[in-house]
A and B are shown apart, each in its own frame.
Chain A
């Protein structure tokens, strides 16, 4: 499905009803940089795991990604623009409150959503995310040209089918324009952080969880690319949301 939510940017999203209808808070899944709902979540088995737990899944392709529009100006990718899209989507679907589950950049946005609209978020899960600068040392005027960890990520995702390297570069600059700061913290939204033990982009996740009185689950042996599909991750989230 698609919705025209903010200006000219059309968002593609899926709305998967619960397999066994029950009165539960829907789950909003926010994918990472350079991927999309299908690749980040569906292929990793998430809709099935959440649907099997009786949960409705809302899965947008974030602006600049997947089947959604891909503006080319940096300002279109400031975090608040993504939050505007997400609140627009919830309004469009007449959903009062969600549990939000993010991965990587999606976790940063999940944090922002919980911070700016805590009345719309019941619980939040930040996967593959820590209070480190994901763009450290990278020259964002030419992402992918250097040799920093972000350059390597950029090169991998820029060549994925359906991605637009220019839009992703603008997205990186828009995100980097608002560096993550762990203060202030979302109020009244229980947090769960989940990360692979070898995920360098999630460095400090345990400390961030502790500062927010949240929980942290570490997945042994996994890195940033492989933690998202781990059974342990899905199970920890189902327990956190349904328990």
Chain B
């Protein structure tokens, strides 16, 4: 079994919200957590929300401090995720590289400053 690092960004919280304030982390670096475990509590202008973990894994890094304002799409947390050894590896069995497989969808958070 190998490990891959994967970074999770602040998801779109709906209602046209563009940022949220981190109230309290529900995990710490080193924690092994399951998918949907409470990850972080954030406050928007509309409400307070607990964001569940999108994946099972070990927490490697938290990218925001408590009370910090984080824009939607900014890095939130990095996990080390266990990858099964017998799953297809990119390049070996001709799997489409991840970068190309992702839909080229970008959300503009702020108008260009220049």
Contact = CB atoms under 8 A, between A and B. Distances in A.
A142 B49 CA distance: 30
Given A226-B23, A230-B24, A231-B24, A48 B38 contact: yes
Contacts of B24: 230-231
Interface string B42-55: 01011111101000
Contacts of B49: 43-44, 229
Interface of A: 35, 39-40, 43-45, 48-49, 156, 160-161, 225-231
Nearest to B36: A48
B36 to A, nearest CB: 7
A145 to B, nearest CB: 21
B32 interface: no
14 contacts: A35-B47, A43-B50, A44-B49, A48-B36, A156-B45, A160-B15, A161-B14, A225-B43, A226-B23, A228-B48, A229-B23, A229-B41, A229-B43, A230-B41
A76 B76 CA distance: 45
B6 interface: no
A226 B52 contact: no
Contacts of A225: 43, 47-48
Contacts of B23: 226, 229-230
A220 to B, nearest CB: 11
Contacts of A226: 23, 43, 48
A48 B53 CA distance: 12
A9 to B, nearest CB: 25
A225 to B, nearest CB: 6
Interface of B: 14-15, 23-24, 26, 36, 38, 41, 43, 45-50, 52
Contacts, number: 46
Nearest to A46: B50
Contacts of B43: 225-226, 229
A45 B50 CA distance: 5
A39 B36 contact: no
B41 A39 contact: no
Contacts of A39: 46-47
B41 A231 contact: yes
Contacts of A48: 36, 38, 52
Contacts of B52: 45, 48
B50 A229 contact: yes
A228 B23 CA distance: 12
For the complex of A and B, list the 7 residue pairs with the smallest distance between their C-beta atoms, beginning with the closest: A45-B50, A229-B48, A43-B49, A226-B48, A229-B41, A45-B38, A226-B43
